Structure formats: C-alpha cells, structure tokens
C-alpha cells in the first residue's frame, strides 16, 4: 500500500519544514509555504534504477569527447557553446511572450531538416496551436512529433519508446508527476519532474530542453533548485516592446557562460542578427543630442556598441530621483558620488535619468566612463563627438581603471566606423590599429577635457 507523507515547502526557494511557517527562514519570503503530500510505495523508489556506473578509478575512465549537435541556428549554437551536447539537459528561461516556444520550434524544425527526430511536448498549448505557429515559421518536417501532454508518466513512456534525438518540454511548470500530489508548477513537482527528465536524458543519451517561466522579479520561477540541477541555463531577455531578443547563457557545464546570441522577432519567427552593434546604434547619428554617448560593452567574448543616454533636470521633490534603465542604479549613484567629490559636479538638486538604448542590460563596470560622460555632457549642454566611443571603469578616487578584452573592443568600434576611442591608460594594447585614434586617459577630468574639447 502506498504511504503518504506531508511537508510544507517554500514556493520561493524550496525550503522544507514539517509544519507551517509564516516566514521562510531561508529566503525571508512571507506566506510562501504550501503543504505538499508525497506518496510512495512500500518498495524503495530507487530500487529499479539502472546501476551501470559503478565507482571507478580515474585512470579507468575513458574520455569520449562530447558529441555536439549543431542546431543550425548559429546564434543559438554560440550560446550553447557550439551546439547541444548529446544527453544534456538545458533550461531556457524567460518572460511569457518573449519567444521561448518560437525559438524552440524553429530549432526543432532545423534539426528535423537534418534528419534528427524531435519530440515536442506541449503542456501549455494544443496541437493545433503549435501547428499554426509551425506554419508561420515554415516548419514542416515529418521528423517532428508534437505531443500535447501534461502527465509526466505518459511523457516518459513516449520518450523511452520513441528514442528521439531531442525532447522539448514546453514548459516544466505545466507538467506534473502522479508521485507527488501537489499541483503542477509547485516546487516539489518541478524538482521531481526535472530530476526524472535528467535521469531520462543521461540513461538514454537524449538531449532535453525544458522551458521555464520567470517570476516578476526576473528569477526562474519557484525553485533555484532547477538551476542547480540542469547542465545549462539560458536566459531569454529583451524588451517586449522592441523586436530584438537576447539569449544569454548563465550556466554552462559544456561551454562559456555569459555568451550571448542576438535575434530579431519578425513576422516569420526569430531571425539571427549577425551584426548587433549596428542594430543598437542605428538611430544614434540621426538623433544627436547632449547627454548621449556610445560605449563598447563586452557580452561574453563579444564586443557590442551600445548607446547610453542621460537626462538631468531640476527636481520638484525634496529628494532627487535617480532612475536607471539597463544599468544598475547603484552604479549610477556611485558615479554621481565620484563626479561630485572629484570634479565638483553637484547634482543634489537634480533628477538624473540614465537609459541604455535598445533594451539591453549593461552590467559591467567598463560602462562607467560612458555613463559619466553622458551625464556631464547633458549638464553642460554640449553634444558629444559622434565619432568617439568610450570604455573605462571609474574608481572611487576618480581614476580610470583598465577593462578586459580591450583589443576586441577597439576593433569593434573601428569596424563600425568610429574615428576615436577613449580607453584607460592602464590598458595595454596588443594589436596595432590604423585608422582609429586611441586616446588614453588616466583620470576622469582628463577624459572630460579630451572628449568635450573635440
């Protein structure tokens, strides 16, 4: 006879307790506990697990290089580290409506054209909805199987009998296993299903891609546990109101992290953007106003030119506002503090808005100098030279600190037609550059003189 056991699980972080708690001691969330009942049979659940991997000596282990299957979508391959590793479990997370189902259906279609068998488990949409999307994307292959199902046991049965090359689970929050009695989408359900999928992937050597939704705060919904379990976590970002989308790898057991792939959403699905810098600074030259600069940021190993805008105005409030879009507001506050202390720019009666154009997030300190110069040019009401790009981190004493990948950044600026680039003095350049003037600066005041006097 099956036994049952009940526990309370925090839906935010997965913390478990025997009784109800109002506040989670682990993550501090309030009223996040939900009772979950597990039933298990008398015989041990693990008894029938195949045991084909006994412990062995390091010297006994044969190294077989991982087999990668290219998806045929090169921006996606780049994020994965060169293709999907056979037998790996990949999580793609993103806001609703960002295009997760779209990219995976496209990937499935592309793999099927390469004679791979793909099983697409649609737990959220009906088969005809998928068909409609497939028509729009021009996906029509007989190697693609669509299976609208939410029950994990049935899904497992079909994966094992079909033995496809790739399984797509859309989405992990919508499937449930009968082993656990809590509703689909709860932490225990997600954890159990993900664990079981991992087992299927590893024992049958089938690659599995699962879709996961993110919460309003931008975390992968419910459990952090999900992130720990899978081999690769890819975040799908973008501005819902703009057409481009960014795939970013945040964990990868088989490749580089923080690699990005850039796409544009069109009427016929997601299209790869081969030259993203062009896209992000497309409108720069036409709309030149004080308070706008171009920085060269580095996403993974890839340099990207991005426009930063700042707006400074008298505040009607006792406490001035600092609003940052696409950059960390803490970073902006630090830059403002340095500007006040080191060059005497007092903005305590002014609102400051900083915006990164294009819906991309710039999280590296190398953007500091660009942000500072955008603020300064706005305050002084001068237009920044449109042929100059900027990189550099600002230290607390007003010094400009070195950044990584400097050669790649200079290269990218030159490729996009920039005539000058302001970089930190401390950076050593390996390559020789012709046709772009490299201005090295040591302190913030120097950067201002060089930039504004042009």
Residue with tokens 């290089």: 65
Residue 122 as a binder of Mg ion (CB under 5 A): the answer is: no
Neighbouring C-alpha atoms within 13 Å toward the C-beta of 65: 2
What is d(CA 253, CA 113) in angstroms, rounded to the nearest whole number? 27
Joined tokens for residue 345: 């720019």
The distance of closest approach from Cβ of residue 177 to ligand TYD in the complex, given in angstroms and rounded to an integer, is 22
Number of residues that bind Mg ion (CB under 5 A): 1
d(CA 238, CA 97): 10
Tell me the residue number closest to Mg ion, measured at CB.
Answer: 101
Judged by beta carbon distances under 5 to 8 A according to partner kind, the member of Mg ion, ligand TYD, none in contact with residue 424 is none
Distance of closest approach, residue 244 Cβ to ligand TYD, in angstroms: 12
Interstrand relation of 166-170 and 118-122 (parallel, antiparallel or unpaired): parallel
Give whichever of 88 and 102 is closer to ligand TYD, judged by the CB atom. 102
- Rounded least distance, CB 62 to ligand TYD, Å: 40
Q: Which is nearer to ligand TYD, 55 or 97 (CB)?
A: 97
Q: How many other C-beta atoms lie within 10 A of the C-beta of residue 118?
A: 25
The distance of closest approach from Cβ of residue 138 to ligand TYD in the complex, given in angstroms and rounded to an integer, is 10
Min. distance of Cβ 122 from Mg ion in angstroms?
A: 9
By beta-carbon proximity to Mg ion, the closer residue of 101 and 277 is 101
Buried b (16+ CB within 10 A) or exposed e, 205-232: ebbbbbbbbbeeeeebbbbebbeebbbb
> Judged by CB, which is closer to ligand TYD: 133, or 322?
133
> How crowded is residue 179: how many other Cβ atoms within 10 Å of its Cβ?
18
Nearest-approach distance from CB 72 to ligand TYD, in angstroms: 17
Indicate the residue among 213 and 302 with the shorter CB distance to ligand TYD.
213
Specify the stretch interacting with Mg ion by CB under 5 A; choose among 7-15, 99-107, 382-390, 433-441: 99-107
Closer CB to Mg ion, 101 or 207, in the complex: 101
Which backbone phi and psi does 308 adopt, to 5 degrees?
-115, 135
97 binds, among Mg ion, ligand TYD, none (CB under 5 to 8 A by kind): ligand TYD
Among ligand TYD, Mg ion, none, the one that 265 touches (CB under a kind-dependent 5 to 8 A) is: ligand TYD
- CB 156 to Mg ion: min, Å: 22
Quote the CA–CA distance of 99 and 272 in Å, as a whole number.
13
Nearest in space to 70 (alpha carbons), one of 101, 114, 119: 114
**Looking at 11, 32, 101, 182, which residue binds Mg ion (CB under 5 A)?**
101
* Residue 98, binding choice from ligand TYD, Mg ion, none, Cβ under 5 to 8 Å by partner class: ligand TYD
73 contact choice in Mg ion, ligand TYD, none (CB below 5 to 8 Å, kind-dependent): none
- The answer to whether 375 and 340 have CB atoms below 8 angstroms apart is no
If the CB atoms of residues 211 and 260 are measured against ligand TYD, the closer one turns out to be 211
Minimum CB separation of residue 240 from ligand TYD in Å reads: 8
Nearer to Mg ion, 101 or 292 (CB): 101
CB 85 within 8 A of CB 66: yes
Report the candidate in 152, 159, 147 with the shortest Cα–Cα distance to residue 194: 152
What is the DSSP secondary-structure string of 378-404?
HHHT-PPPTTEEE--EEPTTSBEEP-S
Judged by beta carbon distances under 5 to 8 A according to partner kind, the member of ligand TYD, Mg ion, none in contact with residue 157 is none
Q: What does the DSSP 8-state code read for residue 73? A: -
DSSP 183: P
Q: Which residues pair with 119 in a beta bridge?
A: 145, 167
Q: Which is nearer to ligand TYD, 131 or 450 (CB)?
A: 131
Binding site for ligand TYD (CB under 6 A): 94, 96-102, 133, 136-137, 265, 267-269
Helix, strand, or coil (residue 42): coil
Closest to ligand TYD by CB, 103 or 352? 103
CB of 107 to ligand TYD, least distance (A): 12
- Under 8 Å between Cβ of 147 and 157: no
Return the number of other C-beta atoms located less than 10 Å from residue 88's C-beta: 23
Q: Which of Mg ion, ligand TYD, none lies near 136, with the C-beta cut-off 5 to 8 A by kind? A: ligand TYD
For 428, which DSSP code? P
Interface with Mg ion (CB under 5 A): 101
């Amino acid at each position: 006879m099956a036994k049952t056991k009940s526990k309370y699980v925090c839906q935010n972080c997965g913390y478990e307790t025997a009784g109800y708690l109002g506040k989670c001691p682990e993550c501090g969330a309030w009223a996040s506990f939900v009772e979950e009942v597990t039933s298990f049979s008398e015989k041990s659940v693990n008894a029938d697990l195949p045991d084909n991997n006994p412990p062995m000596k390091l010297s006994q282990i044969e190294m077989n290089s991982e087999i990668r299957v290219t998806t045929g979508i090169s921006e996606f391959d780049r994020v994965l580290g060169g293709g999907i590793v056979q037998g790996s479990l990949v999580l793609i997370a993103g806001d609703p409506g960002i295009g997760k189902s779209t990219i995976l259906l496209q990937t499935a279609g592309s793999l099927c054209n390469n004679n791979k068998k793909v099983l697409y488990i649609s737990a959220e949409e009906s088969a005809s909805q998928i068909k409609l999307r497939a028509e729009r994307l021009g996906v029509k292959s007989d190697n693609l199987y669509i299976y609208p199902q939410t029950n994990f046991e049935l899904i497992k049965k079909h994966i094992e009998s079909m033995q496809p090359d790739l399984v797509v689970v859309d989405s992990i929050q919508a499937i449930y296993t009968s082993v656990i009695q809590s509703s689909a989408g709860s932490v225990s359900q997600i954890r159990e299903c993900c664990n079981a999928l991992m087992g299927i992937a590893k024992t049958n050597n089938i690659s599995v891609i699962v879709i996961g939704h993110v919460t309003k705060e931008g975390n992968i919904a419910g459990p952090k546990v999900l992130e720990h379990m899978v081999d690769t976590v890819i975040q799908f970002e973008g501005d819902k109101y703009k057409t481009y989308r960014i795939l970013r790898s945040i964990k990868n057991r088989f490749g580089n992290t923080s690699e990005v792939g850039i796409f544009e959403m069109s009427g016929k699905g997601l299209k790869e953007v081969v030259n993203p810098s062009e896209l992000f600074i497309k409108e720069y030259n036409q709309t030149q106003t004080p308070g706008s600069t171009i920085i060269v940021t580095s996403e993974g190993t890839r340099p990207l030119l991005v426009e930063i805008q700042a707006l400074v105005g008298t505040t009607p409030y006792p406490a001035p506002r600092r609003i940052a879009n696409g950059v960390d507001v803490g970073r902006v506050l630090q830059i403002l503090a340095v500007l006040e202390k080191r060059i005497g720019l007092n903005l305590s009666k002014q609102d400051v808005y900083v915006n990164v154009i294009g819906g991309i997030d710039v999280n590296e300190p190398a953007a500091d100098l660009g942000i500072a110069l955008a603020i300064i040019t706005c305050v002084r009401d001068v237009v920044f030279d449109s042929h100059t790009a900027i990189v550099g981190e600002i230290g607390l004493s007003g010094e400009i600190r070195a950044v990584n990948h400097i050669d790649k950044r200079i290269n990218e600026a030159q490729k996009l037609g920039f005539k000058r680039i302001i970089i930190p003095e401390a950076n050593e350049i390996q390559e020789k550059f012709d046709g772009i003037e490299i201005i090295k600066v040591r302190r913030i005041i120097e950067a201002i003189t060089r930039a504004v006097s042009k």
